A and B are shown apart, each in its own frame.
Chain A
Amino acid sequence: MKCTRCREPAEVKLRAHNSAFCRSCFVFFFQRRVARAVEHEKMFDRASRILVAVSGGKDSLALWEVLAEEGYTTVGFHLALGIGGYSSRSRERTEAFAAKRGLDLRVHALADEGLGIPDIVSATRRPACSACGTFKRHYFDAAALEFGCDVIATGHNLDDEAARLLGNVLHWQTDHLARQKPVMQPRHEKFVRKVKPLYLTSELETATYSFMRGIDYVVEECPNAAGASQLTYKAVLDRLEDTSPGTKVGFVRDFVVRGSAAFARDEEGDSARTCEGCGMPSFGALCSFCSLRAEVDRKLAARAKPAPTPSNA
């Protein structure tokens, strides 16, 4: 198979784009695709200070490298989730990546607060991905504020967005559909814009870019992901994509262009209050992060209480 651009031997075939690329042409294609998404959706500009949320996986590290090489001002932020060896290895890879490229990385470890995702799950019986999402949203917002960033960029890719869209449609989660955009504008002065520059870039493309660029990313899956519905949706979409290449990109791009506006009225209103716990914007007295923390603290304290003895029972 020959490269569509230069006719050298190809290393990757992208059926959705009816193209095949050699290494150097693929890297060019990938970087240009990310740059076009940023420009087309007006995600940020050269004056922006971008907080890149980096997990140690292929998507976020590839995104960080592309943005840094494009000359954007970036600050990497890694939230160490305390999920055993998986989190340790994710942090190590992220730190090694940043050190090798001389990039500015800030790390916050939940373990430093004596609380990891497994503790939260065990105390509250909430699904791990739900607790993890609440914590990530809080710490990303807080980090952007602390480090003076005016935009948060995450590595959500086309497959993530297609799976999320399918899930939201299957359950008609209209409020979630209203928020499914490549650019989420802030609705409070303490929040910043959130963007997804890889929203039209597939997992195959981010994995290929990372491999070709020698990015040493964490290949293993989060142990909590097993059985997650998002993986089922991805498997279904992979079947559709195999039968009809371009299905995923059409699904997500056309929703953004033609579908999302229909759900705008279902979007939640502004967070008008200030959380009494952390000072961040909130719908109620406590934000969802502080509510979850309070629930965990309550349940861990109840567990720690000694069981009543027969004499004082």
Chain B
Amino acid sequence: MRVCLNPQGRELQIDGVARVGDLLRRLEILPGTVLVIRGERLLTEDASLTPEDDIELRSVVSGG
């Protein structure tokens, strides 16, 4: 599946992950620090993923 990391705008091709929780673990991203977006919906950690998915991982962290 194609994964876009924002705000960096980095794109990755990730295969072999069945659920959102697996994807976050693979990328070493803590749940709660990103929105997991597929189309117009947000996904929870237990949501299933398919190889055709287009996922945006949008950081929620702001400030300086």
Q: Which one of B6, B61, B64 has the highest number of Cβ atoms from chain A below 10 Å of its Cβ?
A: B64
- A126, chain B: closest CB distance, angstroms: 14
C-alpha spacing A163/B64, complex, angstroms: 10
> With an 8 A cutoff between CB atoms, is A184 at the interface?
no
Which residues of chain B have C-beta atoms less than 8 A from A40's C-beta? none
Chain A: interface size category: 35 or more
Q: With A221-B7, A238-B32, A242-B31 in contact, do A11 and B63 touch (Cβ < 8 Å)?
A: no
Inter-chain contact A238/B33, CB cutoff 8 Å: yes
Which residues of chain A have C-beta atoms less than 8 A from B46's C-beta? 1
Residue from B32, B35, B58 within 8 A of A241 (CB atoms):
B32
Which residues of chain B have C-beta atoms less than 8 A from A241's C-beta? 30, 32
Which residues of chain B have C-beta atoms less than 8 A from A57's C-beta? 62
Inter-chain contact A207/B60, CB cutoff 8 Å: yes
Inter-chain contact A207/B35, CB cutoff 8 Å: yes
What does the 1/0 interface line of B29-42 toward A look like (CB < 8 Å)?
A: 01111010100011
Residue from B32, B43, B63 within 8 A of A204 (CB atoms):
B32
> With an 8 A cutoff between CB atoms, is B44 at the interface?
yes
Residue of A nearest to B58 (CB): A219
C-alpha spacing A165/B63, complex, angstroms: 14
> With an 8 A cutoff between CB atoms, is A12 at the interface?
yes
What does the 1/0 interface line of A155-172 toward B look like (CB < 8 Å)?
A: 000011001000000000
Which residues of chain B have C-beta atoms less than 8 A from A211's C-beta? 35, 37, 42, 58
Inter-chain contact B43/A242, CB cutoff 8 Å: no
Which residues of chain B have C-beta atoms less than 8 A from A222's C-beta? 64
> With an 8 A cutoff between CB atoms, is B45 at the interface?
yes
C-alpha spacing A179/B11, complex, angstroms: 42
Inter-chain contact A207/B44, CB cutoff 8 Å: no
Which residues of chain B have C-beta atoms less than 8 A from A228's C-beta? 63-64
> With an 8 A cutoff between CB atoms, is A230 at the interface?
yes
Residue of B nearest to A230 (CB): B63
Inter-chain contact B43/A203, CB cutoff 8 Å: no
Q: Which one of B30, B42, B47, B58 has the highest number of Cβ atoms from chain A below 10 Å of its Cβ?
A: B42
Which residues of chain B have C-beta atoms less than 8 A from A1's C-beta? 44-47
C-alpha spacing A219/B34, complex, angstroms: 12
Residue of A nearest to B6 (CB): A219
Interface set, chain B 7-55, CB cutoff 8 A to A: 7, 30-33, 35, 37, 41-47
Inter-chain contact B44/A224, CB cutoff 8 Å: no
> With an 8 A cutoff between CB atoms, is A231 at the interface?
yes
C-alpha spacing A252/B47, complex, angstroms: 31
> With an 8 A cutoff between CB atoms, is A212 at the interface?
yes
Inter-chain contact A160/B32, CB cutoff 8 Å: no
Which residues of chain B have C-beta atoms less than 8 A from A224's C-beta? 64
Instruction: Kindly list the 4 A-B residue pairs having the minimum CB-CB distance in the complex, ordered from nearest.
Output: A225-B64, A228-B64, A207-B60, A11-B42
Question: Could you tell me which A residues sit within 8 Å of B by CB distance?
Answer: 1, 10-13, 15, 20, 57-59, 128-129, 159-160, 163, 202-204, 206-208, 211-212, 219-222, 224-226, 228, 230-231, 234, 238-239, 241-242
7 contacts between A and B (CB under 8 A): A1-B44, A11-B41, A13-B44, A57-B62, A58-B62, A207-B58, A239-B30
Beyond the given A204-B32, A206-B60, A221-B7, please list 14 additional residue pairs across the A-B interface where CB-CB is below 8 A: A1-B46, A11-B42, A11-B43, A13-B44, A20-B44, A128-B64, A203-B60, A204-B35, A208-B60, A212-B42, A219-B7, A228-B64, A234-B61, A239-B30
